[in-house]
Amino acid sequence: MGLLQEKLKLYREPQKYMAQGVYPYFREIYGKQGTEVNMGGQNVLMFGSNAYTGLTGDQRIIDAAKAALDKYGSGCAGSRFLNGTLDLHVQLEKELAEFEHKDDALCFSTGFFVNSGVLAVICGREDYIICDERDHASIVDGRRLSFAKQLKFKHNDMADLEKQLQKCEPNAVKLIVVDGVFSMEGDLAKLPEIVELKKKYNASIMVDEAHGLGVFGKEGRGVCDHFGVTDDIDLIMGTFSKSLASIGGFIAADFDTINWLRHTCRTYIFSASNTPAATAAAREALHIMRSEPERMEKLWKVTNYALKRFREEGFEIGDTESPIIPLYVRDVEKTFVVTKMAFDNGVFINPVIPPACAPQDTLVRFALMATHTEEQVERGVQALKKVFTELGILK
């Protein structure tokens, strides 16, 4: 056995939780994602999904993906840069640019590749990337790959953001990068205040709309539209894996920015292009989302019901303003136990532990879809109330 294997065999953190019977990851689902799923032979309520529009099993999307398979085959066998661009990719990019009120857009094979690739090349050595400390891991990895100078500000702390901006050279490029909806805590970036600071310090802004798309704004355009600041946001990123019921991602911006990224972004140039089926599925989901505003209305009705019920029962849910509801546990070991007990009581939820949060902020994440019913939410609330009470988290 080599030195590498000797080193890695010491990593036994997962095995510790497996031995305790509370390891929560990689559970197999038999069938389509929906509000209720079969996991390992057990039917459970699904409150761990990012499918906010509830479209993952929609037959129209499945049919669109099948049609793309028949027409284009199973893959593109190359990158967008060379032989992997389909008319289908270009059509979707045009529709996304129009949707986000930007000049142009680029589609990537994953949302992670959007952030990690764009941030790696968008700024140079004399520039600055300034991130919220709770930005998504893909943003963190993207800025690490960049040669730009790196600054962080305390979560949603505008005074600290201004302090970081004051450290920058006045004539240097300064890119502020934030999640529109923070994926663990469910709160929103303070975009109106960030825009004010952008103008004051001649900065630029990139917003990750992964969890805002299909949830906020007109036709589900996202948090930028929700706050009415789209024209002041320089780059808007989104994913297909949540509200758009597929896999992939995009960046929308002005013509010159997209021209630069199209020819320099390594995760775009050196990755195989998104499959025809995934591209067609995302495009059909976008059409449905725009034509069926009642989906977002249903999502918010069930979200408001869940927020009300969790608050009534005394759960600590922080500052969430979205269908992402954090239920704070504030103990790593108990977070795994809560997840296991909830599953045993017929509820699937996601544990959130470091590095996704600080050790004292561990939580379980309860997420809603437009297809959830109030009755399902009530079952979830009652099951979690039982678990939290038994563990002494809920008094």
CB 104 within 8 A of CB 258: yes
* 201 vs 270: CA distance, rounded Å: 35
- Residue 74 Ramachandran class (φ > 0 left, ψ -120 to 50 alpha, else beta): alpha
**Strand ranges (E), 329-382:** 347-348, 350-352, 363-367
* pTM as predicted: 0.96
pLDDT bracket for residue 395 (50, 70, 90):
confident
Distance in angstroms (rounded) separating the CA atoms of residues 378 and 286 = 30
Contact 365/182 with Cβ under 8 angstroms?
no
- The Cα 161–Cα 132 span in angstroms is 8
Q: What is the pLDDT of residue 1?
A: 76
pLDDT in tens, 259-300: 999 999 999 999 999 999 999 999 999 999 999 999 999 999
Mean of the per-residue pLDDT values of the chain: 97
Q: What is the pLDDT of residue 355?
A: 87
What the block records as the tokens of 78 is 């190359």
Give the model confidence (pLDDT) of 174-233 as tens digits: 999 999 999 999 999 999 999 999 999 999 999 999 999 999 999 999 999 999 999 999
Q: What are the tens digits of pLDDT across the range 55-113?
A: 999 999 999 999 999 999 999 999 999 999 999 999 999 999 999 999 999 999 999 99
Pair 291, 95: CB distance under 8 Å: no
